[in-house]
């Protein structure tokens, strides 16, 4: 990730660092006139490798024609614990910018400082209202997007304790924020005005860890304008020099299992010593042979007899059928369906009385489908949010490989316990027609309006 700006630094000095170019400090808060390169030392950025918060200042420097000297051999957990570092930031957090006038910490403040080293920098807005809008979106990125990503990602990486209620809240909050952002970007290429500003730099960096580590395509596809915006930003030359190539997360990191607590040593019982005998010669045993690594156990569903139904064929038919859905897709499903190799299940949410807010209910379904990623190879699902006013009802239809709801899904996806699961009896024409209606997103469904319908495929 860091190679872009590190290699750039090596071009200037043998020690891998570059100097800050002379720029003007006039016109910025606290400014004292023109910068004079000969009379000042350069600023130094203290940061660990791949720090998305440090990226903000480095990208701002690229746009502002400013070069930043990076401290060399910085080691997280060591360099940021030294007395010298703690004088600059008592919290021991990075990044910290060391300037001739004193240190600056907090990444957004550092990025602003770097941008203000250039007079009338368009990164900060070209008018008072633009400047206010830049600050507005910087604050939005810091208070809405960044916490949502952090509270979703960090518990799964084991940095802070995991709780599924906390994760649900984080996902709901993040989706609400991205929904608002998506609406703004539907008619705007940039957050402010018609060119990149500091707001775009900060927001993109705050989205970066989320999209690279945990926000899979199934999550972000609900926000197409945010997707377009993010990939446009990270592929702009000044962003790419600093961040490097970005790839979207393919799966959600599993929750880290807690290590067993160390056993407390037993209290020693002091006994009277028996008369010592002459030491016996030790018997040296032959070292045991190392065991060969055990092969990873196969998923039980892979051990089932082959099925005539090819799940990907059905998913492809479902996705590609745009007209005559009943005659093409529904009929095709029953032609393909193998009741010996697969089973159909209805699910009904147990706590519909809690579904009083539409976006929270929709986020609940979105989070459930995201956690079902681990069974994508073996399942197809439809989830319906039913009702025109609260409380909304959640009902679903799922096709699973095998004759039972897979045990590993019941064990790993906590949402499964929130639903009643009923196996479909396909000999019952009423149940079979209900399957058809759910696949088709029939509206009204069982006499009620559909608020939304989501497909897992």
Say whether pLDDT at 7 is over 60: no
At 450, phi and psi to the nearest 5? -95, 125
Question: Looking at residue 41, what is its pLDDT?
Answer: 58
**What is the Cα–Cα distance from 449 to 386, expressed in whole angstroms?**
6
Per-residue pLDDT band for 367 (boundaries 50, 70, 90) equals confident
Say whether pLDDT at 192 is over 50: yes
Question: Looking at residue 29, what is its pLDDT?
Answer: 38
Averaged confidence pLDDT in the chain = 84
Domains of the chain: 3-116 (3.40.30.10), 125-243 (1.20.1050.10), 302-456 (3.30.70.1010)
Handedness of CA 213, 216, 222, 224 (dihedral sign): positive
* pTM: predicted TM-score of the whole model, two decimal places: 0.52
Q: What is the pLDDT of residues 313-341, one digit of tens each?
A: 999 999 999 899 999 999 999 999 999 99
> Which residues, 6+ apart, have CB-to-CB distance to 238 below 8 Å?
59, 62, 63, 196
Q: What is the biggest distance separating any 2 CA atoms in the chain, rounded to whole angstroms?
A: 96
Cβ pair 214, 148 in contact under 8 A:
no
Say whether pLDDT at 247 is over 50: yes
Spacing of C-alpha 386 from chain mean position: 29
Percent of the chain with pLDDT over 90: 65
Q: Which two tokens stand for residue 295?
A: 């092969």
Q: What is the pLDDT of residues 441-457, one digit of tens each?
A: 999 999 999 999 999 99
Question: Looking at residue 138, what is its pLDDT?
Answer: 96
Beta-sheet pairing, 419-423 with 342-349: antiparallel
Cα dihedral value 7, 9, 12, 15, nearest 10: -100
Which of helix, strand or coil describes residue 455?
strand
The conformational region for residue 50 under phi > 0 = left, psi -120 to 50 = alpha, else beta, is left
Q: What is the pLDDT of residues 11-48, one digit of tens each?
A: 333 333 333 333 333 333 333 334 433 334 577 899 88
> Which residues, 6+ apart, have CB-to-CB distance to 352 below 8 Å?
391, 392, 393, 394
Spacing of C-alpha 227 from chain mean position: 13
């Amino acid at each position: 990730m860091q190679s872009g700006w590190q290699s750039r630094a090596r071009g200037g000095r043998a020690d891998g660092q570059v100097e800050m170019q002379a720029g003007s400090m006039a016109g910025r808060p606290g400014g004292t006139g023109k910068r004079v390169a000969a009379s000042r030392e350069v600023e130094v950025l203290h940061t660990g490798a791949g720090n998305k918060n440090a990226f903000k200042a480095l990208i701002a420097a690229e746009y502002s024609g400013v070069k930043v000297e990076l401290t060399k051999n910085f080691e997280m957990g060591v360099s940021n614990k030294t007395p010298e570092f703690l004088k600059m930031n008592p919290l021991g957090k990075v990044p910290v910018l060391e300037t001739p006038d004193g240190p600056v910490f907090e990444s957004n403040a550092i990025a602003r400082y770097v941008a203000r080293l250039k007079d009338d920098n368009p990164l900060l807005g070209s008018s008072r209202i633009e400047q206010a809008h830049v600050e507005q979106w910087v604050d939005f990125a810091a208070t809405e997007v960044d916490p949502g990503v952090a509270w979703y990602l960090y518990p799964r990486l084991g940095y802070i304790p995991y709780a599924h209620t906390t994760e649900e809240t984080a996902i709901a909050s993040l989706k609400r924020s991205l929904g608002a952002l998506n609406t703004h970007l539907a008619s705007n290429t940039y957050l402010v005005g018609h060119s990149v500003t500091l707001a775009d730099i900060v927001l993109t960096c705050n989205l970066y860890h989320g999209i690279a580590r945990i926000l899979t395509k199934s999550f972000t596809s609900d926000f197409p304008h945010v997707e377009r915006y993010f990939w446009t930003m990270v592929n702009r030359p000044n962003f790419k020099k600093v961040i490097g190539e970005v790839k979207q997360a393919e799966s959600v990191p599993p929750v880290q299992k807690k290590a067993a607590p160390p056993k407390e040593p037993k209290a020693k019982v002091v006994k009277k010593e028996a008369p010592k005998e002459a030491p016996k010669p030790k018997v040296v045993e032959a070292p045991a042979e190392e065991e060969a690594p055990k092969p990873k156990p196969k998923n039980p569903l892979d051990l089932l007899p082959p099925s005539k139904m090819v799940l990907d064929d059905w998913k492809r038919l479902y996705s590609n059928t745009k007209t005559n859905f009943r005659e093409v897709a529904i009929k095709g499903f029953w032609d393909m369906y193998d009741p010996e190799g697969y089973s159909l299940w209805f699910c009904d949410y147990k706590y519909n009385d809690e579904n009083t807010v539409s976006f929270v209910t929709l986020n609940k379904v979105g989070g459930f489908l995201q956690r079902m990623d681990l069974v994508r190879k073996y399942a197809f699902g439809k989830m319906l949010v039913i009702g025109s006013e609260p409380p909304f009802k959640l009902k679903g239809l799922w096709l699973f490989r095998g004759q039972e709801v897979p045990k590993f899904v019941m064990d790993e996806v906590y949402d499964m316990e929130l639903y009643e699961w009923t196996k479909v009896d396909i000999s019952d024409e009423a149940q079979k027609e209900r399957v058809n209606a759910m696949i088709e997103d029939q509206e009204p469904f069982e006499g009620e309006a559909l608020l939304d319908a989501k497909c897992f495929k």
